[in-house]
Amino acid sequence: MKVALISPSPEHLQQLGSVLHTCAHQSVLVEGGKSKMREVVECERPDIVIVEGMCCDPAELTQVEYLSAHHPNVAVVLLCASASPEFLINSMRAGVREVLPCPVSAIALQSALERIVTRMRISQGKADGRVFAFIGCKGGAGATFLATNLAAELATRRSVLLMDLNLQFGDALSFLHDGAPASTLADVAREIGRLDASFLASSATRLGPRLSILAAPEDPAQSMEIKPDHIEAVVSLAAANYDFVLMDVGRTIDGTSVKALDRADKIFIVMQPSVPGVRNAKKLLLAFRALGYGNERVELIVNRFERADIGVADIERALGKLTIHTVPNSYRQVTAAINQGDPLALAARSNPVSRNLADFARGLTEEPLAKSPGLFGRLLGRAA
């Protein structure tokens, strides 16, 4: 959201501006009084305008009434050192969304902004997109392949943003594209104060009319610039602007990955049917339970599954009762598609993995995941 802040106090402007920065809102700071409201709104076109110093005289509310009539989509917030009950009632009648005490705490301002943003989304009839996280329990398990190829399938029908959150060694873009990204997640973090829908879209590499990838940093050292708050802000904004947000999380459990996993509607652990794979999956499940992620949010994908020594029943005995899906083994064609930098569906549409991905993508776009818990089985083959 774009937020304009008007205050006669330079000190208050800087303090509140830092709060807006933390919330990842694009901010416009204007030193001055309430007389600048109309000028700022008509020049800057903010979503929200916060005005400090309009507290007593009901006649001052004529400017708010003007904005309500001519710019009804702009939410007005007043910061008042003191306000009578009569002024509060008149403020609401004029169209003010929130009246907060001044000086206002960071928590109170953040909460007010969250309420306003939620109401705006509801009034626009737009629900957040669904967020899925893919995490491999061992290197080479296939999490990046599944995330990228499902993203490509979903993008044939809906808008999709794939976020590469394997911050040091992520290469999700190369699974679908042979070029270098124009910008990466590190560039977004560096200019987080500019974050809005247009900045996010321009920072991602667009691979089609509905598919974009926000790449991991090209230089592993740049991953240190990306903080947990940056991840939270980007994922939340992405969910508000895309139908699906898929995250290739990588294998490291730290502050940044936890912020992403917290936001995920579903977390898919990807493993191969091997003893090391089972051991690592068990470690991840223990970590997720410690983080409060229940079995309703965490599911297991057994990639490259064949009727072999380790079956689904063996995995259930080792890991406990949870939803388990299987992906058929098609090593040669999958590897060829990865090496070419193409979606598997483009390289081999009739491949069994391609067909399952297509079936699952169709199911996801037709009805919510929660209403049909077996849909992911259609993507990844049937459990043994």
Q: What is the pLDDT of residues 5-42, one digit of tens each?
A: 999 989 999 888 888 876 667 788 999 887 888 999 99
For 197-202, what is the mean pLDDT? 87
User: In one letter, which amino acid is 64?
Assistant: V
For 189-211, what is the mean pLDDT? 89
A 10 A CB-CB count for 130 gives 20
When pLDDT is cut at 50, 70 and 90, the band that residue 121 belongs to is low
With contact defined as beta carbons under 8 Å apart, do 274 and 304 qualify? no
Please, which residues have CB within 8 angstroms of residue 384's CB and are 6 or more apart in sequence? 305, 307, 311, 312, 313, 326
pLDDT for 359: 77
pLDDT higher than threshold 70 for residue 381: no
pLDDT for 53: 80
Look at 164 and 353; give whichever has higher pLDDT: 164
Report all structural domains of the chain as residue ranges with CATH numbers, in order of start.
2-123 (3.40.50.2300), 130-380 (3.40.50.300)
With contact defined as beta carbons under 8 Å apart, do 234 and 214 qualify? yes
pLDDT higher than threshold 70 for residue 122: no
Q: How far apart are CA 271 and CA 155, in angstroms?
A: 25
3-state per-residue secondary structure call for the chain = CEEEEEECCHHHHHHHHHHHHHCCCEEEEEECCHHHHHHHHHHHCCCEEEEECCCCCHHHHHHHHHHHHHCCCCEEEEEECCCCHHHHHHHHHHCEEEEEECCCCHHHHHHHHHHHHHHHHHHCCCCCCEEEEEEECCCCCCHHHHHHHHHHHHCCCCCEEEEECCCCCCCHHHHCCCCCCCCEHHHHHHCHHHCCHHHHHHHCEECCCCEEEEECCCCHHHHHHCCHHHHHHHHHHHHHHCCEEEEECCCCCCHHHHHHHHHCCEEEEEECCCHHHHHHHHHHHHHHHHCCCCCCCEEEEEEEECCCCCCHHHHHHHHCCCCEEEEECCHHHHHHHHHHCCCHHHHCCCCHHHHHHHHHHHHHHHCCHHHCCCHHHHHHCCCC
When pLDDT is cut at 50, 70 and 90, the band that residue 376 belongs to is very low
Nearest by Cα to 94 from 112, 76, 81, 79: 76
Residues paired with 297 in a beta bridge: none
pLDDT for 301: 87
pLDDT higher than threshold 70 for residue 382: no
Predicted model pTM: 0.65
Kindly report, residue by residue over 236-294, the tens digit of the pLDDT: 999 988 999 999 998 889 999 999 999 999 999 999 999 999 999 999 999 999 999 98
For 143-157, what is the mean pLDDT? 93
pLDDT for 127: 67
> Biggest alpha carbon distance in the chain?
80
Q: Would you state the structure tokens that stand for residue 281, as one six-digit string?
A: 């999956």
pLDDT for 24: 61
pLDDT for 50: 93
Edge-to-edge, what's the strand order for the sheet holding 26-31? Answer: 26-31, 2-7, 48-52, 75-80, 96-101
Kindly report, residue by residue over 333-345, the tens digit of the pLDDT: 989 999 999 999 8
Q: Would you state the structure tokens that stand for residue 11, as one six-digit string?
A: 């000190």
Q: How far apart are CA 13 and CA 31, in angstroms?
A: 7
